[in-house]
Amino acid sequence: MTLMISKMKKSNFIEWNNNIFIPSIKKIDLKIILIIILDILFYFLSGSFVVFWLQRVQTKMASFNVPSDIISLGYERAQQLVGEVKIFYLTIIFSFILLLIAIIFLASILKGIIWAKTTKTKLSFALISKFLGLNLVWMGFWFVLFLLISLFIEPASAPKFMIITIALGLYFTNTLYALFMKKPEFKSIIHAVKLNIAKIHLFLLPYAVIALTLFVVVRLVSLLKFQHSNILLGLIVIIYAAVVRYYISALVLEIKKS
């Protein structure tokens, strides 16, 4: 009897999920091409920003020479050198903060348009402005968390913590963006966290299927060995993410109603 009830519940859950998945996929139209292009543009520009920043830092480091024997410089020169080192590291930190702000700004514009097109939300300057404010706090929090992990977690354990953080970030962010596009307000952060925790049992199976499908797709594409296979893999992942985004946005709003 218990087994029968369990099977009925599982069957009802799958049917409920299908009733969300199929209509969400039917909403996909030619706008998905624009979404894919914007996603590619975001990752290309973000990567370019990071590469440019790293090159500038490497150039600065190469031009900055610290004598091996500081004591022989004398007290005044040593103090001056200490000041120069402090300015050097503060410059790197400040430039890194500017890099993060630039990426957040870029994400707020491009990802804002992407999510608006996906959820059929009317695009406006006010929406993107609010989305920027949201991301400055939300993405800033995750960047700080990554920084703390890299600074205070042992190098051997850091990759595991990074993977967990990325998974949690994606889990909460998808819900946050879907809710925000429905009702653009800063409280969406609180609503998203509460929904993801309270309804985690409804999110687990869909996300497990999404992750497993992505894993299989990546493994299959990885078998292809040619000059630009990595570019093809990246393109397929972006297309997959664009399709899944339709489903997740619909899933979040349906779970919110339940």
Decide if pLDDT at 64 tops 70: no
pLDDT at 2: 42
Is the pLDDT confidence value at 36 over 80? Answer: yes
Distance CA 190, CA 195 (A): 9
pLDDT tens digits along 204-228: 999 999 999 999 999 998 888 877 8
Residues 84-101 have pLDDT tens digits of: 778 888 888 899 999 999
pLDDT in tens, 153-202: 888 888 899 999 999 999 999 999 999 999 999 999 999 999 999 999 99
- Res 58: pLDDT: 87
Judged against a pLDDT cut of 90, whether residue 15 lies above it is answered with no
Residue 70: predicted pLDDT:
58
135 in Cβ contact with 104 (< 8 Å): yes
pTM: 0.86
Q: Per residue in 119-139, pLDDT tens?
A: 999 999 999 999 999 999 999
Instruction: Report the range of poorest mean pLDDT among 74-78, 136-140, 229-233.
Output: 74-78
Is the four-CA dihedral 242, 243, 248, 250 of positive or negative sign? positive
Please give the share of the chain, as a percent, with pLDDT higher than 70: 88
